[in-house]
């Protein structure tokens, strides 16, 4: 089970999304997951190996690395991407359930074409609208939470070159040097920017769905 | 999600490209992405590990490496390839949208759309005309812009395209000035020049494609303008009326697409 399988699972959801939802999915896969896999993982690959402290004290480097990097950026991004992709599965489950119900009605003798049922694009109306809208809302919440966690854990989005460590067993204060800080800062800012773009796409989709339902209501009443 | 997945996504775009576009896609995948994955990544694989500085001062090597290589060549190329491939997705999205509209019209039973079944709509290759022409041309324009921007970023960041053997570093905590030696400088220079050359070939292909599309557009316009003047006799008037009718019918299919988007 890897990013490719996630793509296979979410590809099915794509069919029942709005146009903005499809764009969001493309941005997610190409500008976030792909960048993570082909570029960012290499940049952070040697993060502990090339984290160097100016001391001969055994254990000091380990303790300092652990103190300054409780959870690595890469792992946080992987978690963020998984959590952000998951609400779309709610929609997939709802669609599967609707289809299952229709098949059951067909088997009970109602006249529905089963081939058409398989290929049918289910419109975002009624309970599916609520499921879809909640999934977008949860996506937004997860994105915001992770962006805040990043900011809180690393005191901003810049990777410093030097960190001063005085955790035991380091003698007094020790200078520790981070590996590839500029490259890491560049990628952090890039991932943050794309995360921001995804949030805006989600907001736009939410507004679109709300407007759509509001426009349908007056038509029903008139 | 890796280069293979990108290849699958862009393979679909290939069907609706011009011949030059297909050549560009082949050059991109074989001479850039494949070279990056099978060769260049190995060359740069040990770049920090084998970056050696003539000092025992802890942290000096890290700082000097970070100073001289803010973003590694490999990452810049990966970003360049992703950005350069992405405009083609605009075309894919536009084609998918048109197909969706035609399927919708077909299902409604609109007799103006001349498709016999849905399979035909799926397999149909759309010609690069009308709004698709604009999408396609903008995608080529963006490709050119991204290629140029990345080439300039390379040149600016590394003061040219050559990888030096020796770098003199005096960033803190290095004591005074320290000699640092780069790993595999000649091999890196060779690959950098190769990737720049292929990038330039891709730029030339894009420029050629842009010129081809513009020429096609202007020729079509001049044919439309020139037709009634060059064939004034009665038979050709009827033919041109029939052509106008056919265009109106095909335009009505397109206009529902344009109308929806505006």
Within a domain: A218: no
Nearest to B209 by CA among B88, B102, B97: B88
Within a domain: B231: no
B183 — phi, psi (to 5°)?
Answer: -85, 135
Neighbouring CB atoms inside 10 A of A2's CB total 9
pLDDT for residue B260? 32
* pLDDT value at B190 more than 90: yes
pLDDT for residue B117? 63
Nearest to B90 by CA among B127, B134, B124, B144: B134
Decide which of B9 and B76 is more confident.
B76
Least confident of A24-33, A98-107, A203-212, B56-65: A98-107
Within a domain: A53: no
The chain A residue lying nearest B56, using CA atoms, is A54
pLDDT for residue A121? 66
C-alpha distances out from residue B13 to A26, A167, B25, B119, B254, Å: 15, 56, 9, 18, 20
Compute the distance between CA of residue A166 and CA of residue B70 in angstroms, rounded to an integer.
28
Q: Do B75 and A183 touch (CB under 8 A)?
A: yes
Chain A residue numbers touching B5 (CB-CB < 8 A): 4, 7, 29, 34
Q: For chain A, how many structural domains are there in total?
A: 1
Least confident of B122-131, B160-169, B201-210, B227-236: B227-236
Compute the distance between CA of residue A47 and CA of residue A60 in angstroms, rounded to an integer.
16
Q: How far is CA B161 from the centre of its chain?
A: 22
pLDDT averaged over every residue in chain B: 82
Mean pLDDT for the stretch of residues B86-106: 84
Minimal Cα–Cα distance from B220 to chain A, Å? 32
Minimum-distance CB partner of B71 among A7, A161, A186: A186
Structure tokens at A83: 């959590």
**Are A190 and B74 a contacting pair, CB within 8 Å?**
no
* pLDDT value at B242 more than 80: no
Within a domain: B250: no
**Are A192 and A157 a contacting pair, CB within 8 Å?**
yes
Minimum-distance CB partner of B63 among A22, A42, A161: A161
* pLDDT value at A2 more than 90: no
Per residue in A40-54, pLDDT (tens digit) is 999 998 888 899 999
By three-state DSSP, how is residue A152 classified?
helix
A53 — phi, psi (to 5°)?
Answer: -115, 145
Best mutation target among B13, B59, B97 (most A Cβ atoms within 10 Å) is B59
DSSP state of A160: P
Confidence of residue B192 (pLDDT cuts 50, 70, 90): very high
pLDDT averaged over every residue in chain A: 88
pLDDT for residue B229? 52
Nearest to A90 by CA among A2, A173, A176, A13: A13
Q: Do B63 and A37 touch (CB under 8 A)?
A: no
Q: Do A42 and B75 touch (CB under 8 A)?
A: yes
Within a domain: A92: yes
Domain containing residue B144: CATH number: 1.20.1440.80
DSSP, residue by residue, A97-109 = HHHHHHHHHHHTT
Neighbouring CB atoms inside 10 A of B39's CB total 13
pLDDT for residue A10? 83
Structure tokens at A9: 């699972």
pLDDT for residue B182? 93
**Are B65 and B35 a contacting pair, CB within 8 Å?**
no
Mean pLDDT for the stretch of residues B54-76: 93
Within a domain: B249: no
Q: SS3 for chain B, per residue?
A: CCHHHHHHHHHHHHCCCCHHHHHHHHHHHHHHHHHHHHHHHHHCCCCCCCCEECCCCCCHHHHHHHHHCCCCHHHHHHHHHHHHHCHHHHHHHHHHHHHHHHHHHHHHCCCCCCCCCHHHHHHCCCCCCCHHHHHHHHHHHHHHHHHHHHHHHHHHHHCCCCCCCEEEECCCCCCCCEEEECCCHHHHHHHHHHHHHHHHHHHHHHHHHHHHHHHHHHHHHHHHHHHHHHCCCHHHHHHHHHHHHHHHHHHHHHHHHHHHHC
pLDDT for residue A219? 63
Q: Do A31 and B82 touch (CB under 8 A)?
A: yes
Best mutation target among A7, A38, A119, A179 (most B Cβ atoms within 10 Å) is A38
Mean pLDDT for the stretch of residues B55-67: 93
Least confident of A116-125, B48-57, B188-197: A116-125
Within a domain: B259: no
Share of chain A above pLDDT 90, in %: 59
Q: Do B1 and A37 touch (CB under 8 A)?
A: yes
**Are A188 and A112 a contacting pair, CB within 8 Å?**
no
Mean pLDDT for the stretch of residues B53-78: 93
Minimum-distance CB partner of A54 among B58, B71, B93: B58
Confidence of residue B241 (pLDDT cuts 50, 70, 90): low
Give helix then strand counts, H and E, for chain A. 10, 3
pLDDT for residue B196? 94
pLDDT for residue B253? 42
Per residue in B129-180, pLDDT (tens digit) is 788 889 999 999 999 999 999 999 999 999 888 999 999 999 988 998 999 9
* pLDDT value at B254 more than 80: no
Residue A12 makes CB contacts below 8 A (sequence gap 6+) with A92
**Are B195 and B177 a contacting pair, CB within 8 Å?**
no
Minimum-distance CB partner of A177 among B63, B70, B86: B63
Mean pLDDT for the stretch of residues A209-213: 89
Per residue in A75-100, pLDDT (tens digit) is 999 999 999 998 988 888 888 888 88
Compute the distance between CA of residue A17 and CA of residue A123 in angstroms, rounded to an integer.
9
Confidence of residue B5 (pLDDT cuts 50, 70, 90): confident
Least confident of A191-200, A203-212, B112-121: B112-121
**Are B125 and B91 a contacting pair, CB within 8 Å?**
no
pLDDT for residue A218? 67
pLDDT for residue A116? 63
The label of the residue with tokens 């609109």 reads B110
* pLDDT value at A117 more than 50: yes
* pLDDT value at B243 more than 60: no
In A49-136, beta strands by DSSP E: 52-53
Q: Do A3 and B1 touch (CB under 8 A)?
A: yes
Q: Which domain holds residue B199?
A: 19-225
C-alpha distances out from residue A118 to A99, A121, A210, B103, Å: 8, 9, 28, 16
Describe the strand order of the beta sheet including B166-169 as a list of residue ranges: B52-53, B178-181, B166-169
Collect all residues from B whose CB is shorter than 8 A from any CB in A: 1-3, 5-6, 9, 48-49, 57-59, 61-63, 65-66, 69-72, 74-75, 78-79, 82, 86, 89, 93, 97, 173
pLDDT for residue A54? 92
Within a domain: A165: no
């Amino acid at each position: 089970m890897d990013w490719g399988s996630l793509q296979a699972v979410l590809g099915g959801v794509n069919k029942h999304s709005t146009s903005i939802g499809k764009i969001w999915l493309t941005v997610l896969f190409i500008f976030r997951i792909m960048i993570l896999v082909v570029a960012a993982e290499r940049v952070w690959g040697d993060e502990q190996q090339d984290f160097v402290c100016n001391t001969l004290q055994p254990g000091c480097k380990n303790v300092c690395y652990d103190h300054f990097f409780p959870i690595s950026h890469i792992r946080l991004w992987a978690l963020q991407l998984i959590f952000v992709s998951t609400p779309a599965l709610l929609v997939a489950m709802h669609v599967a359930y609707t289809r299952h119900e229709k098949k059951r009605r067909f088997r009970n003798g109602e006249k529905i074409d089963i081939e058409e049922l398989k290929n049918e694009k289910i419109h975002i109306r009624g309970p599916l609208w609520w499921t879809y809208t909640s999934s977008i809302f949860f996506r937004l919440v997860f994105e915001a939470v992770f962006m805040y966690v990043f900011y809180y854990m690393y005191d901003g989005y810049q990777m410093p070159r030097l960190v001063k460590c005085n955790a035991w067993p380091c003698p007094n204060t020790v200078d520790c040097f981070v590996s590839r800080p500029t490259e890491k800062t560049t990628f952090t800012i890039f991932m943050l920017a794309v995360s921001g773009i995804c949030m805006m796409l989600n907001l736009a989709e939410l507004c679109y769905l709300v407007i759509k339902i509001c426009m349908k209501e007056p038509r029903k009443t008139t």
